Amino acid sequence: MRETADVETSSDGYAARFAGSVGSWMLAVQERAVRELLGAPGPTVLDVGGGHGQLAPPLAAAGWQVTVFGSDEACAARLQPQIAAGSVRFVSGDLLALPFPDRSFDFAVSVRLLSHCDAWPKLVAELCRVARRAVIVDYPTAESLNRVAPALFGAKKKLEGNTRTFTLFTHREVGEAFAACGFAPAGRVPQFFLPMVLHRALRCRPCSAALEAACRGLGLTRRWGSPVIARFDRGGSGRG
């Protein structure tokens, strides 16, 4: 069975979850973390499951050579302006059997996908196979306030409408999956200390930004923040 988890995240309905000032703030936090881990623009990037358009357009505008891969042609809908302009390339196929030779791209990036992918270790293996230098992924961690997420799922679904179940990870199990492919941790950026659903409920960007700034200042985000954006380097030292 093919993985198609990115079809939902590439939809207009999913994009609506990030509408408004709070949603744009969340995406700005995510983009800043990814760009911090990527470093200077220029090299090639494969954005797997990136039909949501949260990263490909800003990375392309910053000078990255971006290819987005989706499980279906429908996943290209939100990227049509960039595809038409030639700033982003789109390819579709099997998420667990990427149609690219080994080490085809400097970086492989995948956000909003790992936690919804049943065969996530296989996805990690494919990301590592096509990445020449490093892989960057995001994941919600059980080592955070997300540990109470199952108990609050009903309320979360009522607020967001199109919430899906998702997998919580420990840093160790994600690291072990990458280690099996010869990749070692090279950096990790926790995004928020407070659950994202709380920020959506507040509907106040200045309030959310102030709360998260306080949590970062107290060291709470560094220790218990989620989702995490992490970089793994090919043959790295493991000192991320």
pLDDT at 42: 81
pLDDT for 145 equals: 77
pTM greater than 0.75? yes
List, for the chain, all residue ranges whose pLDDT scores fall below the cut of 50.
239-240
Residue 240 confidence (pLDDT):
43
Residue ranges per domain, the chain? 5-232
The DSSP 8-state label assigned to residue 161 in this structure reads S
pLDDT 10s digits, 40-94: 888 999 999 999 999 999 999 999 999 999 999 999 999 999 999 999 999 999 9
Give 5-232's CATH code, choosing from 3.40.50.150, 3.40.50.300, 3.40.50.2300, 3.30.470.10: 3.40.50.150
Contact 141, 168 (CB under 8 A): yes
Predicted local distance difference test score (pLDDT) of residue 160:
56
CA atoms within 13 A on the CB side of 180: 13
Which tokens hold the place of 149?
A: 């997420």
> What's the Cα-to-Cα distance from 231 to each of 9, 38, 119, 151, 201, rounded to whole Å?
22, 8, 20, 30, 30
